Amino acid sequence: MKVLITGGAGFVGTHLAKSLLDDGATVTIVDNFQRGVKDAAFEEVAGRSNIVDADLLSPTFAQSVSDDHDFVFHLAAIIGVRHVLERPYSVLADNAVMTMNVIEAARRQRNLKQAIFSSTSEIYAGSLVHLPSMQVPTPETTPIALTDLGAPRTSYLLSKAYGEALFNHSGLPATSVRLHNIYGPRMGMSHVIPELLHKAYTAKDGDSLVVASVHHRRTFCYVSDAIAMFRGIMASPNTIGKTLNIGNSTPEVEIGELARTITGVVGRQLTITPAPETPGSPARRCPDVSLLTSLTGVVGKVSLEEGVRRTFEWYRENVFSGTGLSAQ
């Protein structure tokens, strides 16, 4: 089995590549390393993979990769709140161009079994605003509404909605997956779990832990479970032509409760101090994954506390000591 992964130096991409390599697949990783880091975990994967340092915006990208891949994963994108707020035009335009170029590369594959597009839970942000009765946990059949087109954060939602549409109409055996709060080692520091882990780790007993959006609710999915879901999608031809949520439907926890779990894992006695809500952050985000489960039989297995513990142990050893690398 030969697999092409764009954005393969990123968080999910490296975990996916390792899983496939461990099962004997031949993996080609495409990345320009603007966000992914060449840490020890990636270098181990890179030593067993074909690495293509390529610009996905180039009109010649499709011709730069071989035509013998069975699966194509498009995980590359401009993401992150800072990028979305500071350069929304690039997020919208560049993500669209990259997706079209990857589709052209996928069309060149002689024996393509499936092309998988990494979308986002942000796709439901407008629905939550405009549809007060929006179902939570949220199924893939939920009507998609838009947030304010003038709001910078809308650029990311639009780029992913457009990407889904491109894959749907590409003529490829395509599947779009909407990732919901995937976390774990290597995810980068600008996310709630590693950010709070670092704050708790560097605090002293009796200190305050400042937490934004304490009453917002989320479900979280540890990265190994997300990879198992990806692998289940690859193994099931019935997933072709579908749009699927990836994540967990339960437990749905408040961010304040997550913070208490984190302080327990780190072993600190801290007071949770609420901060203002993060602008543009939805009050709830929880996927209905029943369609994914029915098609693949895969369900999440790692509890939130265990996943946070594994994440903390990795960050403590590889990043918090001050000697390791982490994406931002």
In order of start, what are the domains of the chain with their CATH numbers?
2-184+221-247+286-301 (3.40.50.720)
Element counts in the chain: helices (H) and strands (E) = 11, 14
Mean pLDDT, consecutive 10-residue segments, the chain of 328 residues? 96 97 98 82 95 94 97 94 88 97 98 98 95 95 96 94 98 98 93 96 97 97 98 98 98 98 98 91 94 98 98 94 62
CA distances from 266 to 207, 270, 279 (A): 14, 10, 28
266 in Cβ contact with 202 (< 8 Å): no
Q: How far apart are CA 73 and CA 126, in angstroms?
A: 26
Whether residue 76 contacts residue 56, with contact meaning beta carbons closer than 8 Å, is answered with: yes
CB atoms within 10 A of CB 165: 12
Enter the pTM of the model: 0.96
Identify the CA nearest to 250 among candidates 137, 140, 141. Answer: 137
Residue 325 confidence (pLDDT): 60
**CA separation for the pair 174, 240 (Å, rounded):** 6
Tell me how far CA of residue 298 lies from CA of 208, 231, 292, in angstroms. 39, 9, 7
pLDDT at residue 85, rounded to an integer: 86
* One-letter amino acid of 18: K
Q: Closest Cα partner for 202 from 314, 304, 305, 316?
A: 316
Contacts of residue 135, Cβ cutoff 8 Å, sequence gap at least 6: 142, 288
What pLDDT score does 328 carry?
Answer: 46
Q: Which two tokens stand for residue 27?
A: 């993996």
Contact 145, 126 (CB under 8 A): yes
Q: Give, in degrees to the nearest 5, the angle at Cα 108 between 114 and 11.
A: 50
Type of residue numbered 49: S
Tokens 């801290």 belong to which residue?
Answer: 270
Q: How far is the C-alpha of 62 from the C-alpha of 3, rounded, in Å? A: 15
